[in-house]
Amino acid sequence: MPAVVVVGAQWGDEGKGKVVDALARDAHWVVRFQGGNNAGHTLVVDGRKHVLHLLPSGALHAHVRCAIGPGVVLDPAVLLAEIDTMARAGFDLGPARLRIGGQTPVILPFHRDIDRLREDRLAERRIGTTGRGIGPCYEDAVGRRAITVHDLCQRDRLVRALDRIAKDVEDLVGALGGGPVDFDALLLSSLAFGGRLLPFVDDVGARLDEALQRGERVLLEGAQGTLLDVRHGTAPFVTSSHTIAGAACTGTGLGPTRIDRVLGVTKAYATRVGAGPFPTEMAGTEAERLREKGREFGATTGRPRRCGWLDLVALRHAARLNGLSGLFLNKIDVLSGLERVGVGVAYRDRETGAAIGDYPGHADDLAAVEPVIEWLPGWSEDISGARTLADLPAAARALVERVAHATGLPIETVSVGPGREESIGAGPRWPDGRAVV
């Protein structure tokens, strides 16, 4: 039975939560496989906004079981607070519904300290991290010194793990200008978190494999976006994990032959948070209008997002990296009222004017391109009530068709508003043909 991956096809903030929320209606499991609480998925249900940072978006469906795979880096304080908040809102995410991979690396206070101290030292060259310790925790995982959820749940194991890293942590924090690390207090707080997390701990890959063998549907939910991938993005202006669809396997323990379909999510324009090259970026009042109308402020940090026109070069790059099966086109309603709509269709060298074929793999090279903008007619109508493509103005339909033609992918759903019902199309489909309507 089907396993579907949903990934962002831009720099994050594409509206993946709405797609996952729709597919989750017919899912048995929804799983986070990478990133940490630097992610923020905003869902609007019955006019009420819910922002999730670590919990999978399936949390809002009582019949769905959720899992956090070992490809995630987990801040236990944030997760437990989020579980408690959801409980107060009427959503039970106890151990019967939520499973957490025991191998999942844990973010501890010193990871956050290191993150912020490094950004401060970079000054005007800062990357723009969220300061939540994501990168330093991934560094520990790659360096084979990470403290895991398993460690938190057993005192002797945790003592050994902390002893093993204490000297290196103290040296690094001190070298960055930070204060001493209180490892005695850290041991006590970590054990308290471990006591609460123990009932949730499981082998996530094994549980998902069993679910697929039983004929259940598994939905694998990405965070951030393709262009922020730590290896395939334009470093150093990237996140610290693999954001492409392949990470769904390494971040859960499912084999690649288990994945049936990959659905990409894109806005009808583009946004980016933090530093880094952004070829189709707007400036001035044009950008401010999109930011305000699209409510383009980070769900995690509240930072204003940089806004630009849709970049089809980058979108084709994302389609290739992920092996996309289809696209969900989000926030087309935000473009209503514009006299014309821009679409980036190609790159050329800013100095020589020479055409550039592939998406550049280095930040300096991407910063040196000039986008070729194709201008499409705009529309003035409010399209939030549209439920079929025929309901859209001709200019809006032309934009949808332009995206489909440029990527060679079917546009499965066009979102015309934040609510669950504000969409055109049958909805993203499961590989067995079941559609969300």
Residues 216 and 81: their CA atoms lie apart, in Å, by: 30
Question: Taking a C-beta distance cutoff of 8 angstroms, is the pair 365, 302 a contact?
Answer: no
Residues 281 and 20: their CA atoms lie apart, in Å, by: 28
H, E, C per residue of 296-349: CECCCCCCECEEEEEEHHHHHHHHHHHCCCEEEEECHHHHCCCCEEEEEEEEEE
Residues 182 and 180: their CA atoms lie apart, in Å, by: 6
Residues 37 and 45: their CA atoms lie apart, in Å, by: 22
Residues 146 and 364: their CA atoms lie apart, in Å, by: 32
Given 13, 21, 140, 229, the catalytic residue: 13
Given 41, 53, 111, 242, the catalytic residue: 41
Residues 55 and 433: their CA atoms lie apart, in Å, by: 27
Q: What φ, ψ does residue 309 adopt, rounded to 5°?
A: -75, 160
Known catalytic residue at 41 = yes
Mark 296-331 as b/e (b = at least 16 C-beta within 10 Å). bebbbbeeebbbbbbbbbbbbbbbebbebbbbbbbb
Question: Taking a C-beta distance cutoff of 8 angstroms, is the pair 309, 279 a contact?
Answer: no
Residue of 66, 48, 67, 60 whose CA lies nearest to 87: 60
Query: What residues act catalytically?
Result: 13, 41
